[in-house]
Amino acid sequence: MSGKNFLKGAAVLGMAGLIVKIIGAIYRIPLTNLIGTEGIGYYQPAYQVYNLLLVISLAGFPTAIARLVSEKRALDNPEGAHQIFKISMKVILVISILSSLVIFIFAQNIANSIGYPGTYYSLLALVPALFIVPVMSVYRGYFQGMQNMVPTAMSQVIEQLVRFATGLSLAYILVDKGLPEAAGGASFGASAGGIAGFLLIFFIYFRNRKTIKGNIASAGSNSTDESKRVVKRLLTIAVPITLGASIVPLMGLIDAKLVSMRLLQIGYTVTEATDLYGQLSGTAQTFINFPQVFSIAIAMSLVPSISEAFTVNDMENLNHTASLGTRTALIIGLPSAVGLYILSEPIIALFYPALGPDKHVSVGQLLAILAVSVVFLTLVQSLTAILQAVEKQRIPVKNLAIGAVVKIVLTYILVGIPALNVKGAAISTIAAYLTAALLNYFDLNKYTDIHVNILKVTVRPFIASAIMGAMVYGVYTLAFGVLGMKMAALASIAVGIAVYAVALPVTGTITGKDMDLLPKGEKIYSIMKKIKLMK
């Protein structure tokens, strides 16, 4: 059942994540057209700081909560599961108060130290989010541990909707006061969205209290542990995961500082450096985040599914779910990388017309480089989740740290080369995730009883992606002269989606067995069988 629960959970979170990213993209387009890449250069560094502190506050805890709750669930101990929820809430409250106070008190010092003084207002605007979002994550972890992904999905969507409405409205109101102030207004959207998401998931939990109490009352294996023991187990799982998860935002923060410093050293002004950093992290990076919608959903669903199989020592299910998760990550990562690489400049021109032709070219070049990293990033996320679920959470921390060192060294060297400038930071991103993905894979096979055959799970998704890429390139090349860049891009994207949907079953990348695990999979399989796309 783990495989089925995993894919259904991933589908729910993936759909919610897609909605969230669509809203986020729609939000980023008018925002970038309003405040430009310079304004995004004030907005984005604050988010690097925010993401780092948010990761410290909550990254390991939802995973730890989901894992421990799923263990108690597998042992028919709902009272123990609820005890984990209550103790986690107390721990998170302390951490969230501390992290929000740090930003409130030291916002200006932090803005100056990272090389973007204009990001001060954006940092202040994120203080409420640093308090409320970690608290919300405890509820999400509890429901995920129960393999109920709907509350998390609903809270994510409402959080993003409110963020969109509030942030964009404030940016429009404040833009006449200056770009730093407008960026601060946009940043406050995250705080407003966090409050809305929390209220929704709290209401869902409140509505389910009777069911939760009823499950506890009817269970035959209820037991609780000493609070200190629960806290110790939470921290044992959460701290290594938090350290590992902190590496990516820390890497982003160091990247921001290094990019600014090295660009200034080779002759760029502060404004030019801020603009270039906005092109990299606030514009090109936006599209790299889209495939993560699904890869993160896969990772989140893998943890409780694999943890449950691991707890009851079901090795067949454990290996099957791990291979399925890795293959699914590649089914997402490979075509995303191919499509973004081929259509990098047209995509930027399509979504950010106000930037102008020169920036369409420069940002498009950054997107083409970053596109390659998508494959390795999706693999890192799925392999990390598998290792975390089988109590090997220290391994991905070590491997991602090694990847971070690779990135820092290469960013320093490559950004200092005038011909590369900010593109050097994009190249170093590929190297970082490639390093971490390879190390995770080797360590998974070396230190666990899980064996994922990377060749077996890669070949068919690669063939399907190559077929799609060839069609996308062909359609775009033919349509460009007739329809122009933007319409040709839309046409080739539509063709690419259709071709890939056909190529997946035709190449055997997905099978009838896989379809059975998806929501409404039997109906989809029946339709595909009738039109002879599947046997």
Which of 396, 377, 376 is closest to 386 using CA atoms?
Answer: 396
Write down the pLDDT at residue 427: 94
CB-CB contact of 491 with 483 (8 Å): yes
Q: What's the total number of domains in the chain?
A: 1
Q: Taking the model in full, what pTM does it have?
A: 0.69
Per-residue pLDDT of the chain (535 residues; tens, 9 = 90+): 444 454 555 556 556 666 776 777 677 777 877 887 778 778 877 877 777 777 766 666 777 777 777 777 777 777 777 788 888 888 888 888 888 898 889 888 888 887 778 888 888 898 898 888 888 888 887 777 776 777 877 888 888 889 888 988 898 898 888 888 888 888 898 899 989 999 998 898 888 877 777 777 776 677 677 778 878 887 887 777 777 667 777 777 788 888 888 998 998 888 888 888 888 877 778 788 777 766 666 665 666 667 667 776 767 777 777 787 788 888 888 999 999 999 999 988 888 887 788 888 888 999 999 999 999 988 888 888 888 777 777 888 889 889 989 999 999 999 999 999 999 999 999 999 999 999 999 998 888 878 888 888 888 989 999 999 999 999 999 998 888 888 898 999 999 999 998 888 888 877 656 555 444 555 655 665 665 565 5
Measure the CA–CA gap between 336 and 464, rounded to whole angstroms.
Answer: 12
Is residue 276 assigned to a domain? yes
Q: Is the separation of the CB atoms in 272 and 263 below 8 Å? A: yes
pLDDT of residue 464: 92
| Residue 251 covered by a domain | yes
Give the Å distances, CA to CA, from 324 to 146, 338, 510.
Answer: 21, 22, 10
- Residue 231 in any domain: the answer is yes
**Minimal CA–CA distance to 100: which of 228, 200, 195, 238?**
195
- Structure-block tokens of residue 317: 């299910």
- Give the C-alpha distances (Å, rounded to integers) separating 37 from 41, 85, 281, 383, 414: 6, 42, 10, 34, 22
Residue 511, domain member (yes or no): no
Which residues touch 377 (CB under 8 Å, ≥6 apart)?
Answer: 288, 291, 292, 295, 333, 433, 437
How many Cβ atoms are within 10 Å of 198's Cβ, its own excluded?
A: 21
- Domain membership of residue 478 (yes or no) is no
What pLDDT is recorded for position 470?
95
- 516 falls within a domain: no
Residue 421, helix vs strand vs coil: coil
Instruction: Give the pair of three-digit tokens for residue 510.
Output: 């997905």
| Range of the structural domain that residue 355 is part of | 2-215+225-452
Instruction: Tell me which residue has tokens 């409420």.
Output: 128
- Rg, Å, the chain Cα set: 23
Q: What is the pLDDT of residue 519?
A: 47
518 within a domain of the structure (yes/no): no
Q: How far apart are CA 359 and CA 31, in angstroms?
A: 16
Q: Has residue 178 been placed in a domain?
A: yes
Q: H-type helices in 343-356, by residue range? A: 344-351
Q: By the 8 A CB rule, do 166 and 188 touch?
A: yes
For residues 218 and 17, give the distance between their C-alpha atoms in angstroms, rounded to a whole number.
35
| Alpha-helix runs per DSSP H in 146-208 | 150-174, 179-207
